Amino acid sequence: MERQFLESSMMRSVGYDGKEQILEIEFKNSGRIYHY
């Protein structure tokens, strides 16, 4: 999955896998990655 880096105070990057229909969000402070 290719992620796009953001200019955001909370999020570092986001990505989307169209085949699997998964949204991935990486947060700056915690470094955690969430899948939706």
pLDDT of residue 15: 98
Q: Could you give the CA distance from residue 7 to residue 18 in angstroms, rounded to a whole number? A: 23
| CB atoms inside a 10 Å sphere around CB 32 | 9
Per-residue pLDDT, 8: 97
Containing domain of residue 24, as a range?
3-35
The number of folded domains in the chain is 1
- State the pLDDT at residue 32: 98
Tens of pLDDT, residues 3-27: 999 999 999 999 999 999 999 999 9
